[in-house]
Copies of this chain bind each other. A is one copy, B any other.
Amino acid sequence: MMRSHYSGDVTAATIDTDITVCGWVHRRRDHGGVIFIDLRDRSGLVQVVFDPDEPDIFAVAEDLRSEYVIQVTGRVRHRPQGTVNASLASGEVEIYTTELTVLNASETPPLQLDETENVGDAARLRYRYVELRKPRMQRHMQLRAQVTRAVRKALDDQGFLDIETPILTRATPEGARDYLVPSRTQPGHFFALPQSPQLFKQLLMVSGMDRYYQIARCFRDEDLRADRQPEFTQIDIEASFVDADDIMAINETMIRALFADVLGVALPDPFPRMSYAEAMRRFGSDKPDLRIDLELVDIADLVADAEFKVFSGPANSDSGRVAVLRVPGGASLTRKQIDDYTDFVGRYGARGLAYVKVNDAAAGRDGLASPILKFLSDEAVDGIMARSGAADGDLLFFGADRATVVNDALGALRVRLGHDLGRVAGEWAPLWVVDWPMFEYDPDAKRWEALHHPFTAPAVDDPEALRADPESALSQAYDMVLNGTEVGGGSVRIHTPEMQQAAFDVLGVPREAAEEKFGFLLEALKYGAPPHAGIAFGLDRLVMLMAGADSIREVIAFPKTQTATDLLTGAPGLADNAQLRELGIRLRTTGKAEG
């Protein structure tokens, strides 16, 4: 090997030994006629000294510039007193150079490696190989590798088999747009890139593989408004002869092992569980961040008779909700801050943000300050104060609208306030959200939609019961939520053709369409499908959370832009006509049709 040590391993234990290190010129200082280089490799930095007493080496060292790649042999010695750097593993020592080889030169890099540098995203993606040299990105890539390693170990230890499923496959039922791949051998036909291995993992259970996992690449051709990528990675898991409790236990074990191994963090055992209904009621969210102690309180019954139509309207509507969010100490919020929060909830569809400041709770109405007080009866005000537990110095925010708007707006406001007011307690709050509705009604399309996916098993065993009352049917689905982010979701699957047909019927999938799209799965269920259940975790998001990063692009080596472009390689690129002809396709050019 070209090196005897990584930079980070050159500690005081190596003093007085001759070693060889390889890496990049991170920083150079000339001081007192001596050249000092911080040499960087994957493990960190080490200080290298070039002394004019070694004139041949010194002459070469004089030409060294940032990001030159060098090999240095020398003797490790203590740094002079007063120059020890306690923040480095190698901070007590330096290498007195006796041999220097320049392995490669470097032009001035287009990005500085200084973390504080503020360069546009475009340059950082275009020169990703320089960006990835930064200690932060090195740490992220190392963390990601540690995470997948720990995940694999936890699953291997629990008897799961790593099995690969196809990338060139059929359209999948996840609902987003598929990437298509034209077939050359069957012109006019297309493969789809999988949005998930869902159908294949179910087929593996029908195959008797018993326990499957895969760290699987998935693809969605969506508009990337949020922090998404056209290709992303999923920890994909499925097991046979298990129920929801079993699969939750298996995956808690995995996630606990992961946090213990990689971060040294002990997560709770077991994770708390909460029904979907409770999560929506208390937190306005199906992925509540339990580190934040603010909660929504329903007050529809208290304001149902109010003349204030903004409240009484939703209070008397089946689809409405009126709720209050108590903010301890919030009475000190300024008008400007409240205006900001009003704008914020507006993004979630709320048409305003009513509030009450509690100056003196004991003084009743007189101790309160609010533009809406005059619309509410004394009874209503007293009821709201009592139920919300309002105390002096608090502020109450109100939401009154369709339930979905109230939940979205107050749910988001709750999280925002939690961060703004420093009410985030503890570092990690995992949670299972369970007892999901099986379907939700889409009033525009006038039909039932699957809240998870159409292969999710209902809580009822009888297909007729599902058909009879889809509205109140609960599913055997479960989401793992971590700090307010959904990191994983799954369900017990339907394993009989009768129940699968009932689910398609409720969803209004015509039998021919079901046959055309999922016929092979329906057929497989006829030949001895075992009961099975599974889950999938978003690896990118999980690693992002563990890294404390703010975007999944921070934990993906070569991410794409919001327009699904790879600025480094220039993908997507042009294709030549001969190849398109082989694929049986042509470009849809402006008006002109080719021959």
Q: Which residues of A line the B interface, CB within 8 A?
A: 1-3, 22-24, 40-42, 67-69, 71, 103-107, 109-110, 127-130, 132-133, 137-138, 141-142, 144-145, 148-149, 152, 156, 161-171, 177-193, 199-200, 203-204, 206-211, 217, 219, 221, 230-231, 233, 240-243, 246, 495-496, 520, 524, 526-531, 556-558, 560, 563-566, 568-575, 579-589, 593-594
With A186-B563, A556-B164 as contacts: A208 and B572 at CB distance below 8 Å? no
B221 & A184 in contact (Cβ 8 Å cutoff): yes
Tell me the interface secondary structure of chain A in the complex: loop
Q: Is the CB of B104 within 8 A of A531?
A: yes
15 contacts between A and B (CB under 8 A): A67-B527, A69-B531, A103-B530, A104-B495, A129-B204, A133-B208, A166-B560, A168-B230, A180-B575, A183-B572, A189-B573, A191-B572, A203-B558, A584-B587, A584-B588
Q: A25 to chain B: closest CB distance in Å?
A: 8
Contacts of A558 in B (CB 8 A): 165-166, 200, 203
Which of A40, A148, A183, A557 gathers most chain B CB within 10 Å? A557
- Cβ contact within 8 Å between B168 and A203: no
Contact B572 A186 (CB under 8 A): yes
Q: Give the shortest distance, in Å, between A172 (CB) and chain B (any CB).
A: 10
Known: A179-B191, A585-B586. 15 other contacts (CB 8 A): A1-B246, A42-B211, A110-B527, A130-B527, A132-B209, A145-B162, A166-B571, A167-B219, A168-B566, A169-B566, A180-B182, A186-B564, A189-B572, A189-B573, A520-B570
Once the chains are docked, how many angstroms separate the CA of A205 from the CA of B109? 16
User: Contacts A69-B529, A207-B133, A209-B132; is A170 near B495 (CB within 8 Å)?
Assistant: no
Instruction: Tell me if B571 and A210 are in contact (CB < 8 A).
Output: no
User: Given A149-B152, A171-B573, A569-B169, does the pair A241, B164 have CB atoms closer than 8 Å?
Assistant: no
Q: How far is the CA of A208 from the CA of B581 in the complex (A)?
A: 41
Instruction: Check if B190 sits within 8 Å of A128, measured CB to CB.
Output: no
Bound CA span A137–B209, Å: 10
Given A132-B208, A528-B67, A571-B163 contact (CB < 8 Å): no
A2-B183 contact in complex given A141-B161, A163-B145, A587-B584, C-beta closer than 8 Å: no
Q: With a CB–CB cut-off of 8 A, which chain B residues contact A199? A: 569
Q: Please name all residues of chain B whose beta carbon is closer than 8 Å to the beta carbon of A69 when the two chains form the complex.
A: 528-531
A181 to B585, CA, bound (A): 12
Q: Are A524 and B129 in contact (CB under 8 A)?
A: yes
Across the interface, do B586 and A104 meet the contact criterion of CB distance under 8 Å? no
Q: Which residue of B lies closest to A517 (CB)?
A: B573
* A574 smallest CB distance to B (angstroms): 6
Q: Tell me whether A165 and B557 are in contact (CB under 8 A).
A: yes
Contact indicator A145/B161 (Cβ below 8 Å): yes
Rounded to whole angstroms, the CA-CA distance of A563 and B183 in the bound complex is 10
Q: Which of A141, A164, A193, A246 has the most CB of B within 10 A?
A: A164
Q: Do A207 and B588 touch across chains, with their CB atoms under 8 A apart?
A: no
Q: Choose from B3, B156, B170, B563 the contact partner of A573 (Cβ within 8 Å).
A: B170
Given A129-B206, A145-B161, A168:B560 Cβ within 8 A: yes
**Residues of chain B lying within 8 A (CB to CB) of residue A105:** 528
Q: Give the distance to chain B from A191, nearest Cβ to Cβ, in Å.
A: 5
* Contact B163–A526 (Cβ < 8 Å): no
From known contacts A579-B180, A584-B588, infer whether A103 and B209 are also in contact, taking CB-CB under 8 Å.
no
Contact (A566, B24) CB under 8 Å given A179-B181, A574-B188 = no
Q: How far is the CA of A167 from the CA of B210 in the complex (A)?
A: 29
> Quick check: B588 and A587 within 8 Å, CB to CB?
no
- Complex CA distance for A127 and B588, rounded to whole angstroms: 39
User: In the complex where A208-B133, A569-B169, A579-B180 touch, is A163 in contact with B144 (Cβ < 8 A)?
Assistant: yes
Residues of B within 8 A of A132 (CB): 204, 207-209
Contact of A527 among B129, B137, B203, B566 (CB under 8 A): B129
A581 touching B588, Cβ below 8 Å: yes
Closest chain B residue, CB of each to CB of A568: B520
Q: Shortest Cβ distance from A453 into chain B, in angstroms?
A: 17
Which residues of chain B come closer than 8 Å to A217, judged between CB atoms?
A: 164, 167, 217
Cα(A110)–Cα(B528), bound, Å:
12
Pair A168/B219 contact, Cβ less than 8 Å? yes
Residues of chain B lying within 8 A (CB to CB) of residue A130: 207, 527
Cα separation A106 to B523 with both chains bound (whole Å): 11
Q: Are A568 and B203 in contact (CB under 8 A)?
A: yes
Q: Evaluate contact between B168 and A569: CB separation under 8 angstroms.
A: no
Note all chain B residues with C-beta closer than 8 A to A189.
Answer: 572-575
In the complex the two chains form, is B2's CB within 8 Å of A241's CB? yes
Residue from B3, B129, B193, B528 within 8 A of A68 (CB atoms):
B528
Contact yes or no, B583 A208, CB < 8 A = no
Say yes or no: A564 contacts B183, CB within 8 Å: yes
Closest to A589 in B: B188
Chain B residues whose CB sits within 8 angstroms of the CB of A142 once the complex forms: 161
- Contact between A207 and B152 (Cβ–Cβ < 8 Å)? no
Cα A130 to Cα B588 with chains together (Å): 43
Q: How far is the CA of A148 from the CA of B241 in the complex (A)?
A: 26
| In the complex, chain B residues whose CB is within 8 Å of the CB of A181 | 179-181, 193, 572
Contact A528 B104 (CB under 8 A): yes
Is B168's CB under 8 angstroms from A231's CB?
Answer: yes
* Among candidates B141, B166, B178, residue contacting A231 with C-beta atoms closer than 8 Å: B166
Inter-chain contacts of A41 with B (CB < 8 A): 208, 210
- Whole-angstrom distance between the alpha carbons of A573 and B519 in the complex? 13
Structural contact, A571 and B104, CB atoms closer than 8 A: no
